[in-house]
């Protein structure tokens, strides 16, 4: 007849079942760890993205601040140039009007009569002779400049000073580049 296999003793089964349950728990913990690692990785990626955005914004801010500083420097240079031009123009006008006034006795007489009239009756003061001379000088100057097509040579000292300022600004910013573009050597008065 048939022989059946003897069944294992009862005390051996529970340890196998316990071992299988332990293996299942270990696999569940591994799966749990994998899920936790995925969550950590996702959070880490978000943080790195936020950090990159913050650094990008910081760089943009620093770049903007640098550009604003350089533009302010250019504006200051332009204002200094305009002030120097105005001073030179006023001095030239003063010299020209003084020379014209001292050479013309008729103008001196008209200016004296106008001054005495203004003292006697300020409401009835006539035309300001000297003021009209200055106005005429400036009007002629503007007309000459606007109609000018000739170019004026820019002094080499001005170009050298501009180059030195650019290189000094680069050095302050940590830029060692010493290459400079070619600067114009002539300028039209009408373009100023």
pLDDT in tens, 55-112: 999 989 988 988 898 889 888 988 998 899 899 999 999 999 999 999 999 988 988 8
Q: Which residues are within 8 A (CB) of 153 and not within 5 positions of it... i.e. 6 or more apart?
A: 185, 186
Q: Indicate whether this model's pTM tops 0.85.
A: no
Cα–Cα distance, 113 to 108 (Å, whole number): 9
**5-32: burial string, b at 16+ Cβ within 10 Å, e else:** eeeeeeeeeeeeeeeeeeeeeeeeeeee
128-146: pLDDT as tens digits: 888 899 999 999 988 888 8
């Amino acid at each position: 007849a048939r022989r059946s296999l003897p069944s294992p003793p009862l005390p051996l089964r529970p340890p196998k079942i316990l071992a299988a349950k332990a293996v299942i728990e270990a696999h569940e913990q591994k799966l749990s760890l994998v899920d936790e690692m995925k969550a950590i990785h996702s959070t880490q990626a978000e943080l790195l993205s936020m950090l990159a955005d913050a650094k990008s914004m910081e760089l943009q801010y620093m770049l903007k601040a640098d550009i604003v500083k350089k533009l302010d420097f250019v504006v200051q240079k332009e204002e200094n140039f305009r002030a120097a031009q105005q001073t030179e123009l006023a001095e030239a006008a003063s010299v020209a009007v003084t020379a014209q006034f001292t050479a013309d006795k008729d103008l001196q007489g008209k200016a004296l009569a106008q001054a005495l009239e203004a003292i006697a009756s300020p409401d009835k003061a006539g035309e300001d002779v000297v003021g009209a001379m200055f106005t005429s000088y400036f009007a002629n100057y503007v007309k000459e400049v606007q109609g000018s097509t000739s170019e004026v040579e820019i002094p080499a000292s001005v170009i050298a000073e501009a180059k030195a300022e650019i290189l000094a600004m680069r050095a302050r910013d940590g830029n060692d580049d010493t290459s400079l573009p070619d600067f114009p050597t002539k300028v039209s008065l009408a373009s100023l």
